[in-house]
Amino acid sequence: MDQLNIAKASLIGHSMGGKLAMATACKYPDRVESVINIDSVPLFLSKSVPSYFNQVRTIVHRMKKFDVAQKYQNQLKDETSRMLECKNIGNMLVDNMKFDDNRKCTGWKSNMPTLLDFFPDILDHEDPGTYRGPFLSINGEDNKWDKNSYIRQFPEVTEDEVVCMQGAGHSVHADKPVETLKLISDFMSKLV
């Protein structure tokens, strides 16, 4: 932002990007106009809900042993969904894989081994502080976070600012694009 001479900005992020947007807003609240989080875990959820952290740790452990090479896309969707016992997470992981013209997997789009190694640290980083500005969280129906899930970092959050999108999975914006854009547009229009 400094390099672009942007004094203040609205931040929007999905998944890990949502976590980054929330952490940035809490660490630098004077630089942030508003925050829109799309289906990201509240900043300190794993400390407050050990079962969630254990679930993530199980997923990471299983993924480290999972060989994706030379498998077809549909086969991988079935296998990851079964292995992780969650179709939405399985599909999200397959969306992060590269495929050749025959739809065979050629590897990960990101550095998945490193992400898996450091995932516990990514989930639980230092306390960045609080943010008291405009905040909206749009979550898929599998992640029914409520106002209390976010209140530690966003003390002024209201029930209306934490939305559970029925019929949407982790990729809320892809599953329900019209509804997601309407929520974002309505939120942003209130800022003007």
In a domain, 76, yes or no: yes
Count of domains forming the chain: 2
The answer to whether residue 4 is domain-embedded is no
| Least confident window among 41-45, 48-52, 88-92, 129-133 | 48-52
Give the model confidence (pLDDT) of 46-86 as tens digits. Answer: 555 556 666 667 777 777 777 887 888 888 888 887 877 76
Do residue 61 and residue 117 come from a single domain? yes
Is the residue at 1 inside a domain? no
Kindly state whether residues 145 and 180 are assigned to the same domain.
Answer: yes
8 A C-beta contact, residue 153 and residue 166: no
Greatest alpha-carbon span in the chain: 50
d(C-alpha 59, C-alpha 95), whole Å: 16
pLDDT surpassing 90 at residue 188: yes
Q: How far apart are CA 45 and CA 105, in angstroms?
A: 33
Residue 74: exposed, middle, or buried by beta-carbon count in 10 A (0-12, 13-18, 19+)? exposed
Residue that has been written with the tokens 């630089």 in this structure: 31
* pLDDT band at residue 125 under the 50/70/90 scheme: low
Tell me which of 68, 100, 121 is where a domain ends: 121
Q: Are residues 141 and 117 part of one domain? A: no
Burial of residue 17 (number of CB atoms within 10 Å: 0-12, 13-18, 19+): middle
pLDDT in tens, 151-184: 888 999 999 999 999 988 888 898 899 999 999 9
- Rounded to 5 degrees, φ, ψ at 57 are -60, -40
Cβ contact 44:124 at 8 Å: yes
Q: Is 21 inside a domain boundary?
A: yes
| The token pair that represents 5 in the structure block | 């001479």
Structure tokens at 82: 């079964």
Percentage with pLDDT > 70 across the chain: 87
pTM: 0.74
- Find the domain containing 178 and state its range: 9-44+127-189
Does residue 67 share a domain with residue 39? Answer: no
Contacts of 167 (CB under 8 A, 6+ apart): 141, 175, 176
Domain boundary among 121, 138, 158: 121
Q: Are residues 114 and 23 in the same domain?
A: no
Q: Last residue of a domain, which of 66, 92, 121?
A: 121
Q: Name the residue with higher pLDDT: 31 or 108.
A: 31
The pairing of beta strand 97-99 with beta strand 32-38: unpaired
